[in-house]
Amino acid sequence: MAGSRTVGPASRAWADGAVAAIAADQRRSADTHLWKLDLPAVAGIDFYLKDESTHPTGSLKHRLARSLFLYALCNGLIREGSPVIEASSGSTAVSEAYFARMIGVPFYAVMPRSTSREKITAIEHYGGTCHFIDDGRRIYAESAELAAKLDGHFMDQFTHAERATDWRGNNNIAESIFGQMREERHPIPAWITMSAGTGGTTATIGRFLRYKQHSTRLSVADVERSAFFDGFATNNADCRCEQPSRIEGIGRPRVEPSFVPGVIDHMLRVPDAVSLAAMRVLSRRLGRRVGGSTGTNFIAMCLQAARMVEEGKTGSLVTLMCDSGDRYANTYYSHEWLAANNLDPSPFEPAIEAFLAGGKLALQFEERWG
């Protein structure tokens, strides 16, 4: 059989030990906190933020990396000493480097040469090796070629994210949200808002909502330079975007295999400057910096809250804080970087602040319903 490997007692024992090490690490980890945002002016609507920045590697991608490693180990795809390769220059690579070091295998992150020094340093901190390419469009092909050359395993987060996570089990992010909401005033959220990177988290949440027959709906925000919204709007998985996303961790040039449009109730496209404006507003409200993708999630939450207020509805809304803004001191929080990328969030901040103070949300978005 093509791709088969000889599995003997020694290799099975190693794999068992690797799975046990990851399971032990998970048992030592507390669940991430669910913050309630105090916004009394938005009458009858409760805002909640699940803080994924508190994972050991500092982002939501820690969950994905753990699931990907367990999936690969339990499918016999990672062997003792064999390298793991991933196409990522962001938080997924940082988290995968962490788990690769934990089980004692080499890790290679294939990334554009333009990747920030902060991310390179974080990957190398956990023992990973950065493999640079000049043409970002070759990131998938280069990763597969490197895996073949090194006789390793290409993890391929964009294909396997939606299948690696057990959406029916008791250890996924959706189950955690509903468990933490159990004693709240509105324990079943009206909406969960999220953005898409691989599409894996949105698939997990959407499937869980249907499996548990919750009335909660899922709204997914996409960014300017991304194919997800167009793919959803036109029901065309072949949609492409030529420019790379400026909001790290979300938005892709193609509709990734892990993106499952059938579990999404609503999508919107958020201009990058609006995402960063929402990031700034939320950071001030929290007294700490959040990242750009959290800004995207938050403005999607504000849109649904505004719609509920207009319709005279009450209820709760949940979104994710994907990572800390400290990672973006030299990008989203840098005036020089914003100017170089022709981004100015400041005109949009007053509209968001006005809504949070009890006014209407004076922003328009391109939207589609599932």
Task: Say whether both 244 and 283 belong to one domain.
Answer: yes
CA pair distance 102, 334, nearest whole angstrom:
34
pLDDT for the residue numbered 86? 98
pLDDT tens column, 250-265? 999 999 999 999 999 9
pLDDT-derived band at 351, boundaries 50, 70, 90: very high
pLDDT tens column, 93-149? 999 999 999 999 999 999 988 787 888 999 999 999 999 999 888 999 999 999 999
Q: Is residue 196 part of a domain?
A: yes
Q: Is residue 7 part of a domain?
A: no
pLDDT for the residue numbered 170? 73
Task: Say whether both 316 and 206 belong to one domain.
Answer: yes
Top-ranked range on mean pLDDT: pick from 132-146, 161-175, 272-286: 272-286
Rg of the chain in Å (alpha carbons): 20
Share of the chain above pLDDT 90, in %: 90
Structure tokens given for 305: 């809250």
Task: Say whether both 114 and 208 belong to one domain.
Answer: no
Percent composition of the chain: helix, strand, coil (DSSP 3-state, to 5): 45, 15, 40
Residue 357 · residue 281 · CB < 8 Å: no
**Single-letter amino acid code for the residue at 239:** C
pLDDT tens column, 11-44? 899 999 999 999 999 999 999 999 999 999 999 9
Q: Is residue 355 part of a domain?
A: yes
> 40: which residues sit within 8 A by CB, 6+ positions away?
none
pLDDT tens column, 37-95? 999 999 999 999 999 999 999 999 999 999 999 999 999 999 999 999 999 978 999 99
Task: Say whether both 111 and 131 belong to one domain.
Answer: yes
pLDDT for the residue numbered 1? 37
CA pair distance 195, 199, nearest whole angstrom:
8
Q: Is residue 4 part of a domain?
A: no
Q: 266-270 and 107-112 as β-strands: parallel, antiparallel, unpaired?
A: unpaired
CA atoms lying within 13 Å on the CB side of residue 108? 22
Task: Say whether both 51 and 127 belong to one domain.
Answer: no
User: Which sign does the torsion angle of CA 182, 186, 188, 190 carry?
Assistant: negative
Report the number of distinct structural domains present in the chain.
2
Q: Is residue 14 part of a domain?
A: no
pLDDT tens column, 176-231? 999 999 999 999 999 999 999 999 999 999 999 999 999 999 999 999 999 999 99
- The DSSP line for 49-106 is EEEGGGSTTSBTHHHHHHHHHHHHHHTT---TT--EEEE-SSHHHHHHHHHHHHHT--
Structure tokens given for 176: 């955690």
Per-chain mean pLDDT for the chain: 95
Task: Say whether both 126 and 175 belong to one domain.
Answer: no
Last residue of one domain, picked from the residues 129, 162, 195:
162
Task: Say whether both 214 and 308 belong to one domain.
Answer: yes
* Domain extent at residue 146: 61-162
pLDDT for the residue numbered 89? 75
Residue 155 · residue 139 · CB < 8 Å: no
Task: Say whether both 135 and 277 belong to one domain.
Answer: no
In the numeric block, the tokens 């093509």 are attached to: 2
* Local structure of 43: helix, strand or coil: coil
Task: Say whether both 131 and 36 belong to one domain.
Answer: no
CA pair distance 145, 12, nearest whole angstrom:
27
Note the pTM of the prediction, 2 decimals.
0.94
CA pair distance 292, 281, nearest whole angstrom:
11
CA pair distance 248, 293, nearest whole angstrom:
7
pLDDT-derived band at 3, boundaries 50, 70, 90: very low
Task: Say whether both 127 and 259 belong to one domain.
Answer: no
Q: What is the CATH number of the domain that holds 289?
A: 3.40.50.1100
pLDDT for the residue numbered 173? 96
Q: Is residue 20 part of a domain?
A: no
Structure tokens given for 293: 């993708």
CA atoms lying within 13 Å on the CB side of residue 349? 12
* Local structure of 37: helix, strand or coil: strand
Last residue of one domain, picked from the residues 122, 137, 162:
162
Last residue of one domain, picked from the residues 105, 133, 162:
162
Q: Kindly tell me if the per-residue pLDDT of 8 is higher than 70.
A: no
Q: Is residue 115 part of a domain?
A: yes
CA pair distance 311, 138, nearest whole angstrom:
47
Task: Say whether both 191 and 338 belong to one domain.
Answer: yes
CA pair distance 262, 202, nearest whole angstrom:
11
Task: Say whether both 191 and 274 belong to one domain.
Answer: yes
pLDDT for the residue numbered 7? 54
Q: Is residue 91 part of a domain?
A: yes
